């Protein structure tokens, strides 16, 4: 922020943005008094931020106005939230206090502003460091505070998401290291939170901004291909819609049909997680049917949606494996819709999403719309799902055995995890985390059932308790009165509740398990070349936030802290040990810096990269889009740097995956191009053919990304190769 006298042009821009806000606010305010309160909040904030500018040079007040517009237009909140959005930076950045806000605007608006002020700390304020508390635990505590407000007043979190969205929209004015920190936090924490709260529009926009700055070249290429593809397919999609429109009109439905193209981020994510090229993203297009339920009809809202589905599915061939019924089984964030994928007459698969107006409001505005309908008496079957999740989060937050560092991972995992629906032997529907075992299901039913479980029947077939459940499974738990929990259960119990129940049972044997754990602890450190001592034990105890060495050994003995956890704890200590230092690469010291390439993503020169100081002379370099880098940035943002590395002719390992039609001489053509024509060193080659189709990978050493992309382009020209992409080693 900076200070300089506002010009007449500044005042004109502020007035224009104010007028736009009032225009969209007028519909949300129920009385003239509410609208007057919004005007009063604007005047107060405008005066408080007078002559203050953002990094972009624009008047600071434009930021709270923009946040307020997101709050009303994209989330659908009302007068008090709009006022809180306008005032959200006043207490943090000026001499005014929460009591001043309370005296002028009342308790509720003051409470919202107070909640927003409390969570505006290191997550988006780089100056609050070294206050006698470690950076990573401070960030964890702040996120904990954000989530605690969910049960207090969810509007605080919704306004915070609006604030983060606008910060992302203007992120190009940030220095690169600060920009990467904000984007990493956004991907690790705020995007999953927006998804869980059902704010799909906000989630998608933040994802695309993340991709635009983290992988700019790939974002540009995908965006250009979308534009090119859409231009070619515009007529085909219109021809696909026409018969649907005609059929629904004949049935007397009131509806609108919208066209939707898959976002650059969702395409990029699918390309990288499924290892498929752009051409194989067959659900690129979607059509959304939004209907107004006929209240005079004998059919319910749900039945009217099914009638639309049965009508349109007779017009085109359907890919039944892609059908998704989130009307019968809504997602745990309240999302309801019926999805089907149909083949157009032009030979293109098109996804059709069927929603009522209520379902569409909830899909676009999430929890705010969900609770608004609930308040208005429009109860859906999924009302309890959000409340269940909030209760689950509260349970995690209030737990005494969760460390600051564990908290971030637990909450992140819970936010991004999906749920499946399974059934009891009597047909009762239960939701459980995707990846859960039969044992997790047993403990979910009742602690006693979990503790006495010996096996399970899934779809009438006898299976072990370790069996991973799939959506639609019917599960019966077999128990025995003499049965007791087993330590090995901790290796496949996935839910936190089941794991805690098992751990609590073995506390009766804590002494003997801890003695075994001490021996394992010593042996594992020895294998890793680390000498045991008070400092090392303290690292582990700090990480786990426990005070007794016996409790540490107890966890090791149970297998809770396995080899991977040992590695993470010792590595993360490298990052956190210097948290109070401010690291800057100076030109005269740059030559002394040692760069270590992260094995999780294997960056090469030309990749967008970010670095983390492991110590004063070592920087670990990751690709900006690396998941591990995102996790580290959410904890150790102050240790991030923009690497200034010089590869000086070095070669770097990469892997490419290939698929295609087999033919005589194909292998010679591939290896000849790589080795002889391009002079690239191959380290490993694994290609196999089956019934005329070949598939495999090649590991190579390349000097930079430019050389890699040139090689991929040349390989695609070889007859028979259908697909060649860079994949993780």
Token pair 């509007």 in the structure block, residue: 155
User: Is 136 part of the annotated catalytic residue set?
Assistant: no
Distance in angstroms (rounded) separating the CA atoms of residues 175 and 514: 49
Q: Return the closest-CA partner of residue 716 out of 685, 664, 670.
A: 670
Strands 254-261 and 285-292: antiparallel
Q: Return the closest-CA partner of residue 290 out of 338, 339, 255.
A: 255
Is residue 10 within 8 Å of 54, Cβ to Cβ? no
Catalytic residue chosen out of the listed positions 92, 550, 695, 704: 92
Catalytic residue chosen out of the listed positions 39, 58, 93, 551: 93
For 328-360, give the secondary structure using H, E and C. CCCCCCCCCCEEEEEECCCCCEEEEEEEEHHHH
Four-point Cα dihedral 630, 631, 634, 637, nearest 10:
-70
Distance in angstroms (rounded) separating the CA atoms of residues 96 and 631: 36
Distance in angstroms (rounded) separating the CA atoms of residues 113 and 96: 12
Residues contacting 429, CB < 8 A, separation 6+: 329, 421, 422, 423
Q: Return the closest-CA partner of residue 1 out of 118, 131, 92, 101.
A: 92
Distance in angstroms (rounded) separating the CA atoms of residues 621 and 611: 4
Is residue 602 helix, strand or coil?
coil
Task: Kindly report the number of other CB atoms within 10 A of residue 99's CB atom.
Answer: 11
Radius of gyration of the chain (CA): 28
Is residue 587 within 8 Å of 613, Cβ to Cβ? no
Residue 129 has what DSSP assignment? -
622 phi and psi angles, rounded to 5 deg: -120, 155
Task: Kindly report the number of other CB atoms within 10 A of residue 465's CB atom.
Answer: 22
Burial (CB count within 10 angstroms: exposed 0-12, middle 13-18, buried 19+), residue 662: middle
655 phi and psi angles, rounded to 5 deg: -130, 140
CB-based contacts of 532-541 (< 8 A; 24+ apart in sequence) = 539/569, 539/570, 539/573, 540/569
User: Is 92 part of the annotated catalytic residue set?
Assistant: yes
Burial (CB count within 10 angstroms: exposed 0-12, middle 13-18, buried 19+), residue 443: buried
261 phi and psi angles, rounded to 5 deg: -110, 140
Is residue 126 helix, strand or coil?
coil
Residue 58 has what DSSP assignment? S
Is residue 626 helix, strand or coil?
coil
Distance in angstroms (rounded) separating the CA atoms of residues 146 and 121: 11
Active site residues: 92-93
């Amino acid at each position: 922020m900076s200070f300089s006298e506002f010009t007449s042009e500044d005042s004109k821009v502020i007035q224009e943005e104010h007028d736009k806000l009032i225009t969209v606010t007028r519909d949300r305010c129920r009385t003239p008094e509410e609208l007057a309160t919004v005007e009063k909040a604007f005047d107060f904030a405008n005066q408080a931020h007078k002559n203050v500018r953002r990094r972009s040079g624009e008047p600071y007040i434009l930021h709270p106005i923009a946040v307020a517009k997101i709050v009303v237009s994209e989330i659908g909140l009302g007068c008090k939230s709009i006022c809180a959005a306008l005032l959200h930076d006043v207490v943090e950045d000026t001499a005014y206090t929460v009591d001043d806000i309370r005296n002028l605007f009342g308790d509720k608006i003051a409470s919202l502003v107070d909640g927003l002020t409390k969570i505006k700390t290191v997550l988006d304020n780089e100056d609050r460091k070294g206050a006698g508390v470690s950076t990573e635990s401070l960030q964890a505590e702040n996120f904990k505070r954000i989530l605690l407000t969910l049960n207090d007043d969810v509007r605080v979190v919704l306004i915070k998401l609006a604030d983060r969205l606008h910060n992302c929209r203007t992120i190009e004015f940030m220095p690169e290291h600060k920009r990467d920190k904000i984007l990493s936090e956004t991907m690790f924490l705020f995007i999953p939170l927006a998804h869980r709260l059902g704010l799909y529009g906000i989630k998608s926009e933040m994802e695309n901004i993340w991709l635009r700055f983290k992988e700019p070249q790939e974002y540009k290429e995908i965006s250009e291909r979308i534009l090119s593809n859409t231009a070619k397919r515009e007529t085909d999609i219109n021809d696909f819609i026409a018969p649907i429109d005609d059929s629904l009109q004949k049935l007397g439905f009131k509806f609108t049909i919208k066209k939707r193209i898959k976002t650059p981020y969702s395409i990029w994510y699918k390309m990288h997680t499924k290892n498929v090229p752009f051409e194989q993203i067959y659900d690129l297009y979607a059509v959304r049917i939004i209907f107004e339920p006929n209240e005079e009809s004998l059919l319910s809202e749900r039945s009217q949606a099914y009638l639309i589905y049965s009508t349109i599915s007779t017009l085109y061939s359907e890919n039944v494996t892609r059908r998704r019924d989130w009307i019968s089984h809504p997602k745990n964030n309240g999302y309801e819709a019926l999805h089907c994928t149909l083949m157009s007459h032009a030979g293109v698969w098109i996804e059709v999403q069927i929603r009522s107006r209520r379902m569409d409001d909830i899909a676009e505005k999430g929890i705010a719309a969900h609770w608004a309908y609930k308040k208005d008496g429009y109860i859906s079957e999924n009302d309890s799902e959000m409340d269940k999740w909030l209760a689950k989060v509260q349970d995690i937050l209030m737990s005494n055995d969760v460390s600051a560092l564990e908290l971030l991972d637990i909450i992140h995992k819970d936010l991004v995890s999906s749920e499946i629906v399974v059934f009891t032997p009597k047909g009762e529907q239960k939701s459980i985390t995707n990846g859960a075992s039969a044992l997790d299901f047993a403990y979910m039913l009742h602690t006693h059932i979990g503790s006495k479980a010996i096996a399970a029947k899934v779809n009438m077939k006898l299976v072990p308790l370790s069996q991973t459940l799939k959506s639609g499974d019917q599960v019966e738990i077999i128990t025995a009165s003499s049965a007791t929990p087993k330590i090995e259960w901790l290796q496949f119990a996935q839910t936190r509740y089941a794991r805690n129940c098992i751990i609590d049972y073995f506390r009766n044997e804590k002494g003997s398990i801890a003695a075994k754990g001490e021996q394992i602890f010593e042996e594992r450190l020895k294998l890793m070349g680390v000498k045991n001592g008070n400092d090392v034990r303290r690292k582990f105890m700090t990480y786990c936030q426990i005070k007794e060495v016996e409790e540490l050994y107890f966890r090791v003995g149970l297998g809770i802290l396995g080899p991977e956890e040992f590695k993470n704890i010792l590595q993360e200590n490298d990052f956190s040990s210097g948290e109070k230092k401010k690291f800057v690469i100076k030109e005269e010291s740059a030559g002394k810096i040692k760069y270590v390439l992260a094995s999780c993503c294997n960056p090469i020169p030309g990749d967008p990269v970010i670095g983390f100081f492991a110590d004063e002379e070592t920087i670990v370099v990751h690709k900006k889009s690396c998941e591990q880098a995102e996790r580290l940035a959410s904890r150790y943002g102050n240790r991030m740097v923009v690497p200034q590395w010089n590869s000086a002719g070095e070669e770097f390992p990469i892997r490419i995956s290939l698929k295609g039609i087999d033919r005589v001489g194909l292998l010679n053509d591939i290896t000849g191009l790589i080795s002889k024509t391009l002079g690239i060193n191959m380290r490993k080659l694994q290609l196999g053919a089956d019934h005329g189709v070949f598939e495999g990978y090649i590991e190579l050493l390349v000097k930079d990304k430019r050389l890699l992309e040139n090689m991929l382009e040349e390989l695609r020209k070889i007859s028979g190769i259908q697909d060649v992409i860079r994949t993780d080693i």
